[in-house]
Amino acid sequence: MTDKQKDKVAKDAKASKAKAKAKAGANGEPQELQDRIGEFLYPHTKDYIFDELSENYLKKNNFYDILSNVPVPIRKDDLTNLTNVKIAHNMAVIIGCDINFKFRDNYVEYIKRSFGTDFAKPLINEGVEAASKNDFDYACILFRAALLIDPNSSDALYCYARACKDSYEIGEGEDYVGRYKAEALESFERLTIDKPDFDMGFYFLGYAYLNMGLYIKAQLTWKDFLALIEGDESEEKKAMREEIEERLADLEEPVLIETGYNCILSNRFADGIKILSSYEDSERFKNWWPLWYYLGIAYKNIDDIDSAEESFRKVLKLSPSNIEAMTELVEIYKKTGEKELEEKYANKIKLVKRNIEEERAEKNKSYS
């Protein structure tokens, strides 16, 4: 390592140490971060054991202040040849699995003090390789670690968002898919804010909004994408322009329907009913349960109880375990004095909730 590189590492370490102190709470605990997907990544920690490094090693290498009484992760096959690089990589995997790990800030400080924020780059490269082999969970772990080491890395953020997207596209289970969708969406949003000139951020964010049923946002985002690639006549961008223009044409009616939803959410019930009721017989949209749910909400709020009941029942034909629709029917039957029907749907709600809890418990057991 050259003197210039050593100076850079020292400066990075000093800056990161000051930042860590600023982030830590009054009790010195690391700042807790929101973690939607950590429970799915935790199984990757099973190959590690934890042990403390010797006091002599820590003092000799200027790590005593951050690693004294701090266990570090070690793979069994590392025991005969444990290097600084391996220690740092092991730490990265652990904090990538659990971004709120008790010794997260100690590990990040060790990595920065040893290698600077540049250590994020090989993690990103390794993550890209893992993603190319469809090992998206491991890729997510490495990209998450890279972002903890270098929060300003747009490459890590972009790759992480892509890996989350790829994960939910091949994943199973409503909880798994939902969490990865939300994580991908938030990451692409951050990316477009951090790099407003990066067209691919807007391209994928549009799809993230589409997959969440946020059609107005998808429309606006893709219009921004088209503006960013305007004048780019490369074959790749020409194909993407054609693709997104077709998507925007397909979005015209969903955008109108979402406008109807928004009318109802803002208590403009008559306007919402006028928009949504025009799609009741549409071959494309008549089987969208949210269409009937929002119509039910609107009818309920204007005291058209018969139409509200009919709408919520249609929701349940399309989405039999829809707790929200069942809850609305319970309230309607309570109001109309139909005790038997009120109890019927109240019991169904309990059954669905119990099934969800049992499924979650079974899934958690498989990850423990």
Domains along the chain with CATH numbers: 3-163 (no CATH), 253-367 (1.25.40.10)
Per cent of the chain over pLDDT 70 is 90
pLDDT tens figures, 318-365: 999 999 999 999 999 999 999 999 999 999 999 999 988 887 777 666
The H or E element that residue 38 is part of is helix 38-41
Calculate helix-pair angle for 3-23, 104-115, nearest 10 degrees.
160
Show Cβ contacts of residue 16 under 8 Å, excluding neighbours closer than 6 positions. 108, 109, 112, 113
C-beta separation of 254 from 273 below 8 A = no
What is the three-class DSSP state of 83?
coil
* Burial category of 106 from C-beta neighbours within 10 Å (exposed 0-12, middle 13-18, buried 19 and up): buried
What is the three-class DSSP state of 50?
strand
pLDDT tens figures, 230-284: 999 999 999 999 999 999 999 999 999 999 999 999 999 999 999 999 999 999 9
Q: Give the span between the Cα atoms of 304 and 336, in whole angstroms.
A: 12
Q: Residue 51 forms beta bridges with which residues?
A: 72
Q: Give the span between the Cα atoms of 60 and 43, in whole angstroms.
A: 34
